[in-house]
Amino acid sequence: MKFWSNGCFYTVECTAADVSMFASSWPCFGDVRKIWFQFDVKSGDLVDMSDSSGMDGQGVVALSHDAQKYGLETLAQLNGGT
């Protein structure tokens, strides 16, 4: 996964390899390609994402939770573990 800080938001891109690994444990996930999610820094809420057509909706939600967790952990590291 790749992380970008965008001020009041952060973006996590799941590469095609990340999505492939996730899809291998999610039956009928559908298309395997990179996807990105953008979250609010303060609330952690999902505020935007790339097109997920052709992917299983519930699988995308589960993948977004993994991306959110990765982003929060990365933010904590950037902020000195706070």
32-67 tens-digit pLDDT:
999 999 999 999 999 999 999 999 999 999 999 999
Radius of gyration of the chain measured on its C-alpha atoms: 13
Q: Is the pLDDT of residue 71 over 60?
A: yes
Angle between helices 57-78 and 16-23 (to 10 degrees): 120
pLDDT above 80 for 79: yes
51 CA to centre of own chain: 13
Across the range 54-82, mean pLDDT stands at 93
Dihedral over alpha carbons 62, 81, 3, 63 (to 10 degrees): 0
Domain residue ranges in the chain: 2-78
Residue 82 has a pLDDT of 55
pLDDT of residue 72: 94
On whether the pTM is more than 0.85, the answer is yes
CB 36 within 8 A of CB 13: yes
